[in-house]
Structure 1
Amino acid sequence: MVFFDYPDKLPDSYVGFWGPVTATIDWCEENYILSPYIAEVVNSFTNFAFVALAIYHLYSTYKNQFGGLYVYISLGFASVGIGSFLFHMTLLYEYQLMDELPMVYVTALPFGYIFSWNQPPVKRYLWRIGTFVVTALFTYIYIFVHRDPTIHQIFYAILNFGVIYKTIKTIHSVVTDPASRKTLYKMLVLAVSLFIFGFFIWNMDFVLCSQLTDVRRNILGLPLGVFTEGHGWWHIFTGLGVYYFIIYNQILSTWMSGRQDSYKLVWHGIFAEVQLQKEKDE
């Protein structure tokens, strides 16, 4: 059912409020079609999924005493959403970097931590400094040498697969309770599945862009057409995937620190929280 027709298609020569597109990537959503001030409305506002989940996780981290690492991860999680909002709103290269680079940095934190954990002091130092140096080198290359987004995607994937590989090895070495192992594996599968599903929808949006645009304009109209913006769904599913991946790492961290008996995984509807349990009076 069409409630409202889409505005007329803008000419290719149209320059929006933020000026010519300087980003190295442009998405399927028609630029400035719904607002003269926001290049991609749906792709912009779906980033609030990141920000909302990050704010909740920051509150949970503070309440449940998870310390500085997860505070930084929560803030990095929120910065990805803010940077991505600015990127899709403006399609300017400097804001593209504010989207892409925080994704790398927020993943490099647990990467350096998990690989340095339980290592002798020298190896621990080398892993953390090495992670910082390699991440800084990637940043320099990506900004000043070669701006191909594929480089960003490959480096980001390496960090994620590294964290997954090392955390699975750590589960085998420190998690002695079979039920807890099962819970960790379920949480990991949930997080990765959400990533993969969001990535699939994003790619369908890319491959079938002209067909989807035609369906939006000639069949669905507004507001139903916005639900076919695949990159917007990628933001939502990726946000959820990141959230559950952080929860997975938090559960494991309680075992790594020997505090597993003080914490419990609690579900609030579809959202999970690793909750510090109050000590009972003796």
Structure 2
Amino acid sequence: MTLFDYPPALPHNHIGYWGPVTATIDWCEENYILSPYIAEVVNSFTNFIFLLLGAHHLYSTIKNKFGYLYIFISIGFAAVGLGSFLFHMTLLYEYQLMDELPMVYVTALPFGYIFAWNSSKKLKWIWGLGTFITTLLFTYIYIFIYRNPEFHQFFYALLNFGLIYKTFNVANEKVTDLKAKKQIYKILILAFSLFAFGFLIWNLDFVFCPNLIFIRRNHLGLPFGILTEGHGWWHIFTGFGIYYFILYNQLLCTWMHDMQDQYELVWFGIFAEVRLKKDKKIN
């Protein structure tokens, strides 16, 4: 099955082009094996899925007049991919933050918005300011006090589960058409399933890392060994999971603003957009 052998393993203390590893986490892909200039080639270039899908959402958001919130979300989606590319390319701590912090910020935006929605002006300010201060506090703690990636993962998961919980409740309240409700829930289930499956592969990559490296080097070789880079698959499945989750939120947003009759979900292959049928903007 092997077409090409992997290059010889580098010593554990090897220092690559970008200098010593300063990130608080390293991955199963062997560093600088495939390129002297890119620490983790597969983990780096699989981030292009975030850039491409983020660009598509940005174009669709502007074309279909979804407003500034989704413009920021789309840009943040792409920014996660750029930060993650730089992180895996260099394994430097400053680029690790460019990967991890945008993940939090792009989730905090819709989190604050959905919890403030349909509230009094005072509560909207409380939710908006509270989300901002909490996120700022997390950033300070994570950078200066407790640099544990599990802390980041916990806070990020908390934001996501809170967002899913609230949007689910809003959908139950606002979406009165049974067919539309099933459609919205199907997209939510699809998004969550892709994210969860990617997370499973990521964890298997951690647990079985030595075994995976052995299989790549002794049985698969190149290019087939690339298919066993679990963190790269995490990027791909997570990218599509976020893509569909944004679609889910956009569909729900049309119902939240009583504009569901002016929008439709249009599929083209595995991609889709919530398309405007009439020229009216969601504020």
2:206 matches 1:217: no
Structure 1 counterpart of 2:103, one-letter code: M
Unaligned runs of 5+ in 2: none
Task: State the shift of 1:17 in Å.
Answer: 0.2
Alignment partners' CA distance in 1, 2:118 and 2:277: 26
Q: Residue 153 of structure 1 aligns with which residue?
A: 153
Counterpart of 2:198 in 1: which secondary structure? helix
Task: State the shift of 1:95 in Å.
Answer: 0.3
Q: Residue 274 of structure 1 aligns with which residue?
A: 274
Task: State the shift of 1:155 in Å.
Answer: 0.5
Q: Residue 174 of structure 2 aligns with which residue?
A: 174
Q: Residue 71 of structure 1 aligns with which residue?
A: 71
Counterpart of 2:4 in 1: which secondary structure? coil
Task: State the shift of 1:173 in Å.
Answer: 1.2
Q: Residue 55 of structure 2 aligns with which residue?
A: 55
Alignment partners' CA distance in 1, 2:38 and 2:232: 14
Structure 2 counterpart of 1:235, one-letter code: H
Contact 2:263-2:278 within 8 A present in 1 as well = no
TM-score, length-scaled by structure 1: 0.98
Task: State the shift of 1:172 in Å.
Answer: 1.3
Q: How many residue pairs are counted as aligned between the two chains?
A: 279
Alignment partners' CA distance in 1, 2:51 and 2:250: 19
Task: State the shift of 1:277 in Å.
Answer: 1.2
Alignment partners' CA distance in 1, 2:236 and 2:177: 33
2:264 matches 1:264: yes
Alignment partners' CA distance in 2, 1:199 and 1:111: 21
Within 5 A, what are the aligned runs for 1:31-180?
31-180=31-180
> Structure 1 runs of 4+ off > 4 angstroms?
none
Alignment partners' CA distance in 1, 2:133 and 2:29: 37
Q: Percent identity?
A: 68
Task: State the shift of 1:34 in Å.
Answer: 0.4
Structure 2 counterpart of 1:42, one-letter code: V
Residues 163-193 of structure 1, C-alpha deviations (whole Å, 9 max, x = no match): 1010011011111111111011101100000
Alignment partners' CA distance in 2, 1:203 and 1:133: 31
Residues 170-228 of structure 1, C-alpha deviations (whole Å, 9 max, x = no match): 01111111111101110110000000100111111111111110110011100111010
Structure 1 counterpart of 2:246, one-letter code: I
Residues 57-89 of structure 1, C-alpha deviations (whole Å, 9 max, x = no match): 100001111010000000000000000000000
Contact 2:2-2:220 within 8 A present in 1 as well = yes
Alignment partners' CA distance in 1, 2:278 and 2:160: 33
CA RMSD after TM alignment: 0.7
Structure 2 counterpart of 1:26, one-letter code: D
Counterpart of 2:273 in 1: which secondary structure? strand
2:15 matches 1:6: no
Alignment partners' CA distance in 1, 2:80 and 2:24: 18
Structure 2 counterpart of 1:131, one-letter code: T
Within 5 A, what are the aligned runs for 1:198-213?
198-213=198-213
Alignment partners' CA distance in 1, 2:217 and 2:172: 52
Residues 238-270 of structure 1, C-alpha deviations (whole Å, 9 max, x = no match): 000000000000000000111100000111101
Counterpart of 1:213 in 2: which secondary structure? helix
Alignment partners' CA distance in 2, 1:172 and 1:191: 18
Unaligned runs of 5+ in 1: none
